[in-house]
Amino acid sequence: MEGKNSTAVSQINSQSQAKAGPSNSQTLNMEKATIHDSIVGTQGNVTVINNFAPSNQSSGKPTESCSDNHLQEAVNLIQQQQLEKLESSLVLHGLTVDESKIPKVYQSLAESNIYKVEDPPIREPFYPSTKGQGIQKFKTFKAIDFNKMLVTMMGVGFLALVGPPGCGKTLLAKRLAKFTNYFVIFLRFMDLGYETVLTPQELLIDYPFKDVDQTTRENAFQWMVKNQEKCVFVLDGYDQWSLSLSERRADMSYEKPSPIQQLVANLCCKNLFQKSLLIFTSRPHAILSIPLSLRPNRTVVVGDLPPDGMRELFNAFAGDQAENLWTTWNSNAPQLIQLCHNPLLLQLVVYAGLSGNVDQLNTITKVFLQFLQQLENSVHKKGLKFHALIQPLGGMAYDGMDRQTVVFTSDDLEKTGLDDVNVQDFVIKVASWTSLFEGDQATFYFIHQSLQEMFAAMYICMKMPDSEFNNIIHQVVYESHWSMVRRFMCGLLLGGDPKQGKSEKLRTQLTEFMKRDLKTHQLTDLLSDLQECSDDEKDSLAKFFPVRFDFSLTPITSSTAHALGQILPKLNRPVEWLILESCNLNLESLQMICKGISNLKNKIEFLALRLIKYGDDGVGFVSLCLNNAPKLWLDGCEISATGLKVLCEEIKHVEIPMEFLDLSRNKFGDEGVEFVCNCLNNVRKLRLEDCGISDDGKRILREELQRLGLPLSTIWGLWKEDGSFYSENSDSDNES
């Protein structure tokens, strides 16, 4: 990063990058390169082949004829410029870490196509009645290896890399740009504020690499047009863009200038660079604002740090205080432990614990406040107190949120009465865009968008006049791009002693919001909001909380799972349905949710824990739900006969017979038939499709039903109405 930002964060490693030369390869020593970071990393030497030999395939019309050697030399030079632009990995200012002791941990990555349809409203649960019903619309989430992502995704065309704030999307995108066999252009949406029309070459080459001579830029662009199948365009932070995508233009060409929205839209729908791969990184809610015709073909969801890896990182950052912090929070504030599965929040939580009163830290709002207040000790603050910055910086942050921008000019900062020297621990000077804007306006942004959102929340809660607050509170609660601001506001206004007026207004708006049919991302945001509230506020707001939870194809983080497990026992109404379908739950998250279900005050009418591959290890947790879930879907969860034995034994002891149980697509085979027979009296309807049961096993089940005097319709999916057996190979239900 340029400007006076060296004090805001500590770089983990120094760069060591090979210079581009006439050869087609460069070796990058990963032990010394910036990719050796605290969150995601790889050890050893990696040889990156610049496999940029021109192909005979082309699309579009190059600006002028040039030899292949000249084109290749140009693209090699642009690539080297790109590597030099990507800044080092960062550790939060104030954390002292021996980089050699930082473990290499990868977040979970899961691929799907969840954004190819409109986000549906809460839907009625699917009640199967006959074999073969159900339509396969999505694949389940599939784990993906980061090192193979580009190779496996090149044919996709348009990919979204999504996840919550602080999960490491940008860091992963930079890794993609640094170490790959493909030619990668990395751009940030926050930099794409162009007010004039421009050509594809200006967008992708001329403006990002303006220090390179014009001939080289033109030759590099010619190479890109001729070698589209070797090009990857990474556009980072779609949720930070102040513009919206326009519909594509049929007459788009490589020479014709167009507004930036149309250029990006035509990259999305492949009117430009048809054979390339385009990658957006974004928070999930922003992808839903893209017109359906321009949506990504596939999505890779950046998930949690794995439990063991998270604990290793926690220990590395916390040092000799790790055990004390872990024990204290695990006992008094387990929600903070769950937040540590997020890379950014992990560092913030540890930093706050090392610098403040551990016993008083129980929400992410308090963690951020502790982090910001501690920066008063910085030598660069020139004696300014943290609270003195709430009015000026908070007002600027709020204005940026209102305009949906994370980028500010020096004029914005000067209006606050401060300058970048006074506040450089919060705001970083980025660049001077003299070629794009009139004058010589320096531009700024907060070191992380979450800090802008925190300052905006503090301004709204502490400094904004009541009359203005009353006018804007509805949009803050209802509009998705304010979700993090709203979360911090819950902590500031509802997390302790209520503040008359604003607290009541926020509470009223939240209760009205909860009465709506919320979309999935709104529901997960709301669960996070309640984690910031005091226990009394949680109990009060739980009276209005929705009782329809549909998390189909929605990755559930450890923090969301903890929040859901905490709110369920507080509900004073029966839960109509809870659908956790193909949502990438790990065992720890499954346990937290099932424990919450077991403590419900009322039974849940419909529970689906389906297409989650928890296997036999999760059966014990699922068994906690049996008395509170008379209709239970457990299909496609990789339960074997071993797990089925445990489950059926628990079903034998339920207080009231279950109305419905779906065990389809769990391959327990004939070995599980005996266990099923032992619990038939306690299940009124049982679905057993595609379980690997042979005709002999089906006969045993049918004979047991006859012996018990139960109708054949007690079991679905094994035989037809005339009593003949279904063939699983030809007639199995493909619903997923």
Within 10 A of 32 (CB to CB), how many other CB atoms are there? 14
* Residue recorded with tokens 């030999």: 53
Q: What is the pLDDT of residue 365?
A: 96
Which residues contact residue 719 at a Cβ distance below 8 angstroms, ignoring those fewer than 6 apart?
698, 702, 712, 725, 726
Cα separation of 165 and 336, whole Å? 16
**Tens digits of residue pLDDT in 280-319:** 999 988 888 888 888 999 999 998 999 999 999 999 999 9
Find out whether 638 and 644 touch, Cβ atoms under 8 Å: no
Residues in the chain, pLDDT under 70: 1-66, 87-94, 99, 117-140, 247-251, 377-384, 420-422, 429-442, 498-499, 728-736
In this prediction, what percent of the chain has a pLDDT beyond 70?
A: 81
Q: What is the pLDDT of residue 145?
A: 84
Cα separations in angstroms, 236 against 168, 171, 282, 673 = 11, 10, 7, 52
Percentage helix, strand, coil, to 5, in the chain? 45, 10, 45
Token pair for 408: 């500010």
pTM score, two decimals? 0.82
Cα separation of 8 and 95, whole Å? 11
Q: What is the pLDDT of residue 593?
A: 97
Q: What is the pLDDT of residue 244?
A: 83
Q: What is the pLDDT of residue 404?
A: 87
Find out whether 52 and 28 touch, Cβ atoms under 8 Å: no
Sheet holding 442-446, edge to edge: 408-409, 442-446, 427-432
Q: What is the pLDDT of residue 140?
A: 65
Q: What is the pLDDT of residue 379?
A: 53
Q: What is the pLDDT of residue 418?
A: 75
